[in-house]
Structure 1
Amino acid sequence: MDFNDIQSAWKNEKTENVILPSHLDKINSANMPLEKIKKNLRNEFFYQILSIILIGFVPFFYSFPANAIPPFYLLFSIFVAVCIYYLVKLYVFYRRLGKTTLSTKDSLYETYFDIRLNMELYKTFGFALIPFVILFLIGFMYYVTPDFFTKGLNSTPFLVTTFSIVTFSILFMGVALEWWVHYFYGKYAKEIRKVLDELKEE
Structure 2
Amino acid sequence: MNIDELKNTWNEDIADKTPEISIEQKNKINLPLEKVRKNMRAEFWWIIAIFVFVFLVCSVCQPFKLQLYITVLVASMLIVTIFFFSKFFKLYNDISNTELNTYESLKDLVNQLNLNKQYYLSYYISFAPFLVCEILIVLEFIPWPTPPGETKIALILISSVIGGLFLLFLVGRFWFHRYYGRYIKHIEGLLEELRV
Q: Same fold (TM over 0.5)?
A: yes
Q: Distance in 2 between matches of 1:124 and 1:163?
A: 22
Query: What are the equivalent positions in structure 2 for 1:1-202 lying under 5 Å apart?
Result: 11=12, 13-19=14-20, 23-61=22-60, 63-143=61-141, 145-147=142-144, 150-152=147-149, 155-201=150-196
Q: Distance in 2 between matches of 1:17 and 1:28?
A: 19
Q: 1:16 to 1:64 in 2, by over 3 A?
A: farther
Q: One-letter code of the match for 1:135?
A: C
Residue 30 of structure 1: SS of its match in structure 2?
helix
Residue 144 of structure 2: SS of its match in structure 1?
helix
**Once the two structures are aligned, what percentage of the paired residues are identical?**
24
Please tell me whether the aligned partners of residues 58 and 71 of structure 2 are also in contact (alpha carbons under 8 angstroms).
no
Q: One-letter code of the match for 2:143?
A: P
Please tell me whether the aligned partners of residues 19 and 103 of structure 2 are also in contact (alpha carbons under 8 angstroms).
no
- The number of equivalent residue pairs is 188
Q: Distance in 2 between matches of 1:136 and 1:126?
A: 15
Q: Distance in 1 between matches of 2:14 and 2:65?
A: 70
Q: CA deviation at 1:18?
A: 4.5
Deviation string 1:34-69 (CA, Å, 9 cap, x unpaired) is: 1100110011111111111211122234x4212222
Q: CA deviation at 1:13?
A: 4.4
Task: Give the CA RMSD over aligned residues.
Answer: 2.4
Deviation string 1:78-109 (CA, Å, 9 cap, x unpaired) is: 12211111111111111111111111111111
Q: Distance in 1 between matches of 2:144 and 2:84?
A: 38
Q: Distance in 2 between matches of 1:18 and 1:157?
A: 65
* Structure 1 unaligned spans of 5+: 1-7
Q: CA deviation at 1:113?
A: 1.4
Q: CA deviation at 1:24?
A: 4.2
Q: Distance in 2 between matches of 1:38 and 1:161?
A: 41
Runs of 4+ in 1 over 4 A off after TM superposition: none
* Structure 2 unaligned spans of 5+: 1-8
Q: One-letter code of the match for 1:19?
A: E
